[in-house]
Copies of this chain bind each other. A is one copy, B any other.
Amino acid sequence: MSSKKGKKKSSDEEKKEEFIRIDGRKPDEMRPYKIRAHILRNADGSAEIRLGGNWIIAAVYGPKEHFPKFEISQDKAILNCRYHMTPYSTTERKSPKPSRREIELSKVIKNALEQAVVLEEFPEMSIDVYMEVAQAEGSTRVASVTAAAVALADAGIPMRDLVVGCSAGKVNGHIILDVGEEEDKEGEADLPIAIMPNLRKVVLLQMDGKLTHEEFKEAFDLALKGAMELYEEQVRALTSILKDMEVIEEGVKDEKE
């Protein structure tokens, strides 16, 4: 596949050079991004992602005893996920009550994270993952899962791999990386994915719009490329925190005792 991809891309790249996107980006260019881990004091793990105008805050609580008892899973932890948009995250005010869309996205994100978290280590317990979209600007679901994975790692929860997401799409006939809000509305297709980058597994995959099989391949490879780029940012965020960790923990002790 990689060789085919190579060929494909080089020919596509010519086209792409000409196409300038609504926000001035090149077709295969990500928006600016920044991930910070360990940003909330109370959560067992937390992270924040900024991806263009997206701003998402993720928090993890657990593992912890699960209530009510009769729902307990005997052989592994239950993973609860909530993807939620704040009222001011969209141009028109969003009701704080979860919409059907938010419930669906919570479900597909849960599936993605379940592939990575070693749930078997915590039978009868539960782990809660909360993603709050403070500002939305396209591709929030993949940004959310990316932040959530960092928050899980920050919580010290054992994982087989990180999970990192990115989107590709089609706008005015061009395959593009990291679909922005306007591009999602006006474009021809949206392809959000999330992967376990080291295990080389797709754990979130959705598509809207219309793509030929050829276009899909191009978009999928582009999204993979973007995800790998964001993965490095995840690692950077976690590494910088690991270094600070002991210092902070000591600081907390000093402050509180």
Binding site for B on A (CB under 8 A): 67-70
Contacts and interface: CB of A to CB of B under 8 A. Distances in A.
B70 A68 contact: yes
A70 B66 CA distance: 12
A80 B78 CA distance: 29
A70 B71 CA distance: 14
Contacts of A68: 68, 70
Contacts of A70: 67-69
Contacts of A67: 70
The 4 closest A-B pairs by CB, nearest first: A67-B70, A68-B70, A69-B70, A68-B68
A251 B70 CA distance: 36
Nearest to A67: B70
A91 to B, nearest CB: 26
Nearest to A69: B70
A67 to B, nearest CB: 6
A97 to B, nearest CB: 14
Contacts of A69: 70
4 contacts: A67-B70, A68-B68, A68-B70, A69-B70
A215 to B, nearest CB: 36
A24 to B, nearest CB: 45
A68 to B, nearest CB: 7
A77 to B, nearest CB: 19
A87 to B, nearest CB: 16
